Structure 1
């Protein structure tokens, strides 16, 4: 099974944890939540995550 990035629609996405993924194209971390939404995070220089925005996913 592959995951598509909700930001760029790319498939170069790797799994970081059970619900977190990393897009190698956008360089963002994606956390999928219940209710068809994804939270997008920018990764800071020190490795912390900064919330960027939320994407509502359609089925």
Structure 2
């Protein structure tokens, strides 16, 4: 099963580092630290703004969050 973006549901996800993924469709970065999923918006200047308050409660029930975790194992 391909990875899907937690924001736009696109499967156009790239791996940009160990446990770090980037959605080329909506330009968000997803990072795994242990069992924690962090979600960031990439700003025009390259800085990251946390979107955890928008997605983390939803991510617990979303299948794509599980897919991100299963890719790591």
Task: Return the TM-score normalized by structure 1.
Answer: 0.71
More helix by share: 2
CA RMSD for the aligned pairs?
A: 2.1
Q: 1:44 matched to which residue of 2?
A: 43
Structure number with greater CO (CA < 8 Å, separation at least 6) is: 2
Per the alignment, residue 19 of structure 2 pairs with 19
TM-score, structure 2 as length reference: 0.61
**1:4 offset after TM fit, Å?**
1.6
Contact kept, 8 Å, 1:3 with 1:11, in 2: the verdict is yes
Q: Which structure shows the bigger proportion of residues in strand conformation?
A: 1
CA distance in 2, matches of 1:22, 1:9: 12
Does the aligned pair in 2 maintain the 1:28–1:41 contact within 8 Å?
yes
Structure 1 segments unaligned to the other structure (5+ residues) = none
Supply the distance in 1 between the matched residues of 2:9 and 2:60 (Cα, whole angstroms).
12
- CA deviation digits over 1:4-48, x for unaligned, max 9? 21222221001110111111122111112322x421111122211
